Amino acid sequence: MKYSETHEWIKVEKEAGTVGVTDYAQAELGDIVYVELPQVGQEVKAGEEAAVLESTKAAADVYSPVSGKIVAVNDSLDDAPELINTSSERDGWIFKIALSHAEELEKLLDGEQYQSSIK
């Protein structure tokens, strides 16, 4: 699992990554009431906004940690946006992306580096 400085996580299996936001991010945002998911087929660059999370208080952008094409989105979040709060790093995954530049993963933080960044 790798992490971005903007509190996204990515779990890569073969050339596809699953992306969500970290537990720290969901705690900061509070109750998520709505998720604006990306479109399947959408191309994103690393660091570009791919999704938006709406809490009762504010909207927060989710940035794609890597470049590629969106291959799947978590439709469960339409009816149960709170999955991001209750299971941010598993059932609350937001989208799956086919990586176009796998070397971008090297620039991301590992678990230890991410944990120290949020202290």
Partner 1 sequence: MRTGIYDKHCVLGAKIVEFAGWDMPVYYRGIIHEHRVVRQKVGIFDVSHMGRIHVKGPDTERFLDYLSTNTIAKKKDFTATYTVWCLESGGSLDDLIVYRISQTEFFVVVNASNRKKDLEHLHRLSNRYEVIIKERYQDGIIAIQGPQAKSLVGQVFDVVDELKPMCFLPVAYHGEEIFLSGTGYTGAGGVEIYASMPAIVDLWDRMLAVGEKYGIEPIGLGARDTLRLEMGYALYGHELNEDIAPTESVSAWTVKWNKENFLGMSALKELQHSPKKRAEYGIVLQGKGIAREGYKVYKEGRQIGKVTSGTMSPSLHKAIAIILVEGKLQEGDNLEVQIRHRSCPAKVVQLPFYSFKPNA
Q: What are phi and psi of 7, to 5 degrees?
A: 70, 30
Distance (Å, rounded) from C-alpha 27 to C-alpha 1?
19
- How many helices (H) does the chain have, and how many strands (E)? 4, 9
Q: Is 118 in the site for partner 1 (CB under 8 A)?
A: no
> Would you give the binding string for partner 1 spanning residues 18-37, x where CB under 8 A is met?
---------x--xx-xx-x-
Which of the 8 DSSP states describes residue 35? Answer: E
| Per-residue x/- track, 88-117, partner 1 (CB under 8 A) | ------------------------------
How far is CA 61 from its chain centroid? 10
Q: Is 52 in the site for partner 1 (CB under 8 A)?
A: yes
Sites of contact with partner 1 (CB under 8 A):
27, 30-31, 33-34, 36, 52, 54-59, 78, 85
